């Protein structure tokens, strides 16, 4: 049974085609990942499905009275509402139903109606139907549903009466997700749902999606999240969609097999084509015209296989000096308080040269604050931070606040790094900025583009100690893999905050885990399934 059917969808932005003959079905309880590089049109497809964007031709058919809900950045919140008031807005249709039920209840107290059996039966019949629909849609469980979702997304009861406008950007994203989950549509469309969620909350969301009664189509670059949640993958590439069964890991295996088969088929075609052309050339020399025509027909009927192409990826390594040994950083008795509220205290740890340390913990625990104190851009309340004197520090900021909004890419790279026009363009090309792209203003860049500019700046720096806050946010999977390889080959020291479990598993050899205003230092141990386990350092 299909909840949604898309047939022969086409869409253009000016002269640029976004979708070409796109067709697919979403069945009952399907869990589908929509993947593709940045700029392929994934978010556009979600908006087309919900009717927020038009398309040029094709059909989108939603079965019966099925409802569709979407999570994306365009969803607006009422900044004047409290958190709980905002959650209640997801139930407006149920409240309208409740009002109709109350109207029936009032009519039942009117003498003209309760003394007239026919009128009484009519009102009772309508009241019964309204009550049935209200109950079927969870009208009597609204408070329970709200509490379940808010607690699951790590909100505290003390925040229920907090005004929406006072929440952080990441918390507002979680509120949008919470509203969508309690709305409980038949088809759930999620655009990067794990962004801004800590690991515990991501794991809760995975379980929620697993038990979800409807269907789910999600856009994500979180490989671990997709492995846990989906049973199909839709790959959007070159304006078309191809469907694969299974989770993300199975998809990558299928893609690898397809690529290897295409290479074999292409080489076989080239060999056969060359053989026929050599035979034609030979027969021409000796005048065997029937054989020539025979071979030419064989050439004409040959299936042409496209040459396997290599996708364009960002291409960089991070420069560092010769590998060092010993202690790179000592932290002793670190404490940070805001307005008499202690965020963390008694933080002490050592970092050795060559360590790659992930900082983990729930949102609000102080992870980014710790990084800023280490960088010296924020003061601690007390404690000592002591780097080795030979450290050469580089910083990747989550919000990219080290970029100048009014600069062009050329000004940001050339002006700040002292590079000439040619070298600036060459560097930007490694990060997929070509031709007129270099004249874009920083303020007009997407999140992924801002990340690429920041990495371009890091590339040209002489570094041996990197501090990174959510470096994989907004990067597509190809770019994440390039970053992973660059960091694995970086012989300096790295401290990073990330909620990407695949990335943490791949890079880190130690973990700083925030736990109730303090930390635990753990070695990273990987079992056969590459799942994070912990082994506390003595």
- Residue 282 sits in which domain range? 251-300
Q: Give the pLDDT mean for 438-455.
A: 85
Which pLDDT score is estimated for 526? 54
**What is the token pair recorded at 450?**
């801002």
Please tell me whether residues 292 and 340 are part of one structural domain: no
Over 70: is that where the pLDDT of 382 sits? Answer: yes
Find out whether 369 and 467 touch, Cβ atoms under 8 Å: no
Which pLDDT score is estimated for 537? 37
Sheet of 2-13, strand order: 16-27, 2-13, 57-62
* Distance linking the first and last C-alpha atoms of the chain: 56
Residue with tokens 């601690």: 380
Q: Which residue has the higher pLDDT, 57 or 290?
A: 57
Residue with tokens 């130690």: 510
Question: Residue 189: how many CB atoms within 10 A of its CB?
Answer: 26
Q: Which range (105-114, 115-124, 163-172, 184-193) has the least confidence?
A: 163-172
Q: Give the pLDDT mean for 98-121.
A: 88
Q: Which residue has the higher pLDDT, 485 or 34?
A: 34
CA distances from 275 to 54, 241, 408, 475 (A): 51, 36, 53, 45
- Is 135 part of any domain? yes
Spatial CB neighbours of 476, under 8 Å, sequence gap ≥ 6: 36, 37, 38, 221, 448
**What is the token pair recorded at 207?**
């379980």
Query: Which of 116, 144, 178 lies at the terminal end of a domain, its last residue?
Result: 178
- Is 309 part of any domain? no
Spatial distance between the Cα atoms of 328 and 515, rounded to a whole number of angstroms: 24
Please tell me whether residues 342 and 438 are part of one structural domain: yes
Q: Which of 291, 145, 124 is nearest to 212 (CA)?
A: 145
* Helix intervals (H) in 13-82: 42-50
> Long-range contacts of range 419-426, CB-CB < 8 Å, 24 or more positions apart?
419/460
- Is 500 part of any domain? yes
Which pLDDT score is estimated for 525? 63
Percent of the chain with pLDDT over 90: 43
Q: Collapse the DSSP code of 176 into the 3-class scheme (helix H, G, I; strand E, B; otherwise coil) and give the result.
A: helix
CA distances from 424 to 45, 253, 430 (A): 35, 37, 10
The verdict on pTM exceeding 0.85 is no
Q: Give the pLDDT mean for 419-430.
A: 89
Please tell me whether residues 94 and 164 are part of one structural domain: yes
Find out whether 457 and 484 touch, Cβ atoms under 8 Å: no
**Positive or negative torsion for Cα 309, 231, 59, 48:** negative
- Is 134 part of any domain? yes
Spatial distance between the Cα atoms of 442 and 73, rounded to a whole number of angstroms: 20
Please tell me whether residues 384 and 508 are part of one structural domain: yes
Please tell me whether residues 395 and 278 are part of one structural domain: no
Please tell me whether residues 452 and 339 are part of one structural domain: yes
Which pLDDT score is estimated for 232? 96
Please tell me whether residues 255 and 392 are part of one structural domain: no
- Is 532 part of any domain? yes
Percent of the chain with pLDDT over 70: 95
**What is the token pair recorded at 289?**
């015209």
Find out whether 189 and 218 touch, Cβ atoms under 8 Å: yes
**What is the token pair recorded at 400?**
């990219």
**What is the token pair recorded at 276?**
């026929």
Over 70: is that where the pLDDT of 74 sits? Answer: no
Find out whether 10 and 20 touch, Cβ atoms under 8 Å: yes
Query: Which of 178, 199, 231 lies at the terminal end of a domain, its last residue?
Result: 178
Please tell me whether residues 402 and 465 are part of one structural domain: yes
Please tell me whether residues 425 and 498 are part of one structural domain: yes
CA distances from 516 to 247, 364, 365, 379, 513 (A): 35, 11, 8, 21, 10
Please tell me whether residues 271 and 396 are part of one structural domain: no
Find out whether 339 and 457 touch, Cβ atoms under 8 Å: no
* Helix intervals (H) in 230-386: 248-286, 289-300, 367-375
Please tell me whether residues 394 and 529 are part of one structural domain: yes
Q: Collapse the DSSP code of 249 into the 3-class scheme (helix H, G, I; strand E, B; otherwise coil) and give the result.
A: helix
Q: Which of 499, 509, 454, 453 is nearest to 473 (CA)?
A: 499
Q: Which residue has the higher pLDDT, 318 or 100?
A: 100
For residue 356, what is the enclosing H or E element? strand 356-360
Looking at residue 441, which CATH number applies to its domain? 3.40.50.300
- Is 379 part of any domain? yes
Query: Which of 178, 207, 238 lies at the terminal end of a domain, its last residue?
Result: 178
| Banded model confidence at residue 386, pLDDT cuts 50, 70, 90 | very high
Over 50: is that where the pLDDT of 226 sits? Answer: yes
Please tell me whether residues 403 and 473 are part of one structural domain: yes
Find out whether 44 and 219 touch, Cβ atoms under 8 Å: no
Which pLDDT score is estimated for 446? 76
Find out whether 447 and 474 touch, Cβ atoms under 8 Å: yes
Find out whether 28 and 4 touch, Cβ atoms under 8 Å: no
Which pLDDT score is estimated for 535? 41
SS (H, E, C) 293-318: HHHHHHHHCCCCCCCCCCCCCCCCCC
Spatial distance between the Cα atoms of 387 and 383, rounded to a whole number of angstroms: 14
Spatial distance between the Cα atoms of 195 and 537, rounded to a whole number of angstroms: 30
- Is 287 part of any domain? yes
187 torsion bin: left (phi>0), alpha (psi -120 to 50), beta (else): beta
Q: What angle do CA 300, 302, 304 make, to 5 degrees?
A: 110
Find out whether 49 and 95 touch, Cβ atoms under 8 Å: no
pLDDT tens-digit series, residues 513-531: 998 888 888 887 655 434 4
Q: Collapse the DSSP code of 146 into the 3-class scheme (helix H, G, I; strand E, B; otherwise coil) and give the result.
A: helix
Over 50: is that where the pLDDT of 534 sits? Answer: no
**What is the token pair recorded at 436?**
């007129």
- Domain count along the chain: 3
Mean pLDDT computed over every residue of the chain: 87
CA distances from 188 to 86, 154, 177, 197, 274 (A): 19, 21, 11, 18, 52
- Is 116 part of any domain? yes
């Amino acid at each position: 049974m299909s909840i949604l059917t898309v047939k022969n969808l086409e869409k253009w932005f000016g002269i640029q085609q976004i979708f070409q003959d796109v067709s697919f079905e979403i069945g009952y309880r399907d869990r589908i990942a929509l993947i593709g590089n940045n700029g392929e049109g994934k978010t556009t497809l979600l908006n087309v499905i919900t009717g927020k964007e038009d398309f040029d031709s094709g059909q989108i058919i939603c079965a019966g009275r099925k409802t569709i809900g979407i999570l994306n950045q365009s969803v607006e919140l009422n900044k004047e509402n409290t958190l709980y008031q905002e959650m209640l807005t997801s139930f407006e249709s149920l409240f309208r139903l409740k009002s109709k039920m109350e109207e029936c209840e009032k009519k039942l107290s009117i003498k003209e109606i309760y003394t007239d059996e026919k009128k009484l039966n009519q009102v009772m019949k309508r009241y019964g139907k309204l009550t049935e629909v209200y109950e079927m849609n969870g009208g009597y469980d609204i408070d329970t549903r709200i509490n379940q979702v808010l607690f699951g997304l790590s909100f505290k009861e003390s925040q229920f009466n907090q005004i929406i406008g006072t929440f952080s950007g990441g918390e507002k994203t979680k509120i949008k997700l919470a509203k969508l989950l309690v709305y409980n549509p038949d088809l759930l469309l999620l655009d990067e749902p794990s962004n801004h969620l800590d690991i515990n909350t991501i794991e809760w969301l995975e379980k929620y999606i697993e038990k979800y009664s409807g269907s789910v189509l999600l856009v994500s670059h979180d490989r671990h999240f997709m492995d846990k949640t989906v049973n199909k993958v839709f790959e959007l590439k070159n304006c078309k969609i191809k469907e694969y069964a299974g989770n993300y890991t199975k998809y990558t295996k299928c893609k690898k097999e397809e690529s290897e088969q295409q290479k074999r088929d292409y080489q076989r075609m080239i060999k056969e084509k060359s053989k026929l052309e050599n035979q034609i050339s030979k027969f021409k020399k000796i005048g065997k015209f029937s054989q020539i025509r025979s071979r030419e027909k064989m050439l004409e009927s040959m299936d042409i296989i496209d040459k396997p192409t290599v996708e364009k990826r960002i291409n960089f390594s991070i420069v560092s000096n010769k590998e060092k040994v010993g202690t790179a950083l000592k932290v002793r008795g670190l404490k940070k308080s805001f307005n008499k509220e202690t965020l963390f205290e008694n933080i002490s740890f050592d970092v050795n040269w060559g360590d790659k340390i992930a900082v983990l913990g729930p949102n609000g625990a102080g992870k980014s604050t710790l990084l800023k104190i280490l960088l010296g851009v924020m003061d601690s309340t007390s404690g000592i931070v002591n780097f080795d004197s030979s450290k050469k520090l580089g910083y990747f900021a989550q919000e990219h606040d080290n970029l100048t909004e009014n600069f062009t890419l050329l000004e940001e790279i050339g002006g700040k790094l002292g590079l000439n026009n040619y070298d600036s363009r060459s560097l930007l090309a490694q990060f997929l900025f070509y031709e007129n792209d270099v004249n874009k203003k920083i303020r007009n860049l997407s999140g992924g583009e801002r990340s690429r500019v920041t990495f371009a700046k890091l590339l040209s720096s002489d570094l041996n100690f990197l501090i990174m806050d959510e470096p994989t946010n907004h990067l597509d999977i190809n770019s994440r893999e390039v970053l992973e390889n660059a960091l694995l080959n970086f012989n300096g020291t790295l401290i990073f905050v990330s909620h990407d479990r695949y990335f943490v598993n791949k890079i880190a050899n130690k973990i700083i885990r925030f736990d109730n205003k303090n930390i635990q230092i753990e070695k990273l141990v990987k079992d056969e399934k590459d799942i994070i386990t912990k082994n506390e350092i003595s």
